[in-house]
Structure 1
């Protein structure tokens, strides 16, 4: 395979977690790779051994000027972007009632609006080459709302709906779209990267407070392996028909399949009310 035919990757949030482990694998595979973080100095070790094939950039996805500059730098260096991995983002826990406006908006700026902006900036390149794959790292919480994570789940649900539309719009142009939905993985998500508003309302202590304590207690002990997750992400880029959903980890698989079965059963149970909402047929 010639260097020109190798897919060019653009990965956000490479300082830790999924982004870092995926970047290591992609770089080791010899693919041209753009790695980004809010401070590119944290990526020095990633690019050290592959400087001719790797570009490290400062990128805060909530900064429109940095988004535009990063995409231009990638195009100037490699000519195109074939795989965009929207990984940058973080978790926020609070009860719905105790959620703080500033924290909620900051969460959506990073997890949703920043992802939207970067995707819009990359799509013209993919459309020009009639080729591309957008991989959005959402979460099991993008399909299920868990107590204590309502606002985080809302941000990931938003990306799921966005990706549904993108998959349909992009298909005739050779652009594919996948959401990767991890369950608990051994990353910094539940550790230093997690933001929380403490649960102080006693009425929520047994459901929200308990879940927040459980999240903290399990940090670093999760069953999910981010390296194997990265290998799975690479695998879907190498298939002609990648999945729209890629749920990762046993917990995630079990939780999502059970939720979807439950949801379908409820919809079927209320079928008569659903169909009865139309005007009567002539």
Structure 2
């Protein structure tokens, strides 16, 4: 797989992610089971965004000194576009997380623990999917057309069913867990299972974690092909994805109280998916400039947010 990254760059990226996760875990443990306030979530969101931009700046500087200014500029724009796309699509992911937490009655104090575990699983799963996707694209270039058509189909489905919340009771995974595991109806703090009278019971938190993981995999199937439309370099795809996911917990609490204000965001996200899908389909005829891609993503998301502010919700 062709990439601009050297072993040293991979090492630095991995080290930054490990340090960031350790700090996040330490802060999480020190804070205890408290409800995350809007101000705290906003500060953490700014910190995660700043970390991503600093990494991009460092990557740009390194490439400018070791490769060329042209490659440095192109890669920095690709990272920024990938980060923006992933961040935007993560908002739709968060709405589903809200539904899961509401359905299982997860308290605000326990939600951050569930999200932290979900983020770790998301990083591992996305890394696997990205390397598999990069290998497939390198060997079968035509798969990009499949990705493009799939993104267009997904975008159209989001418009046709913008309020599809899913039925957790009829979910095959839920039915399997109910049929094969001893499931407790009571929470035991952040524990995933408890032992009662020598028998292990799985708490509702276990079901929540499983559903969060499955939901993230489903959304990754959308977001990862979308970033491959921007760049096929696995290093840029993985780093932009991971840095966007690292801020997912803070972003969740930042918008959790404002979900109703973004009732038209699905249409903006659908527009992004359709645009990127079309970009993939015409890639061999015309390669859409990164600057134009950034502008279109920002325009579509921004327009849906503004429209949500001024147009009332209807049945």
Range into which the TM-score falls when normalised by the shorter chain: under 0.3
Structure richer in strand, relative to its length: 1
Higher relative contact order (CA 8 A, sep 6+): 2
TM-score, with normalisation over the residues of structure 1?
A: 0.26
Structure richer in helix, relative to its length: 2
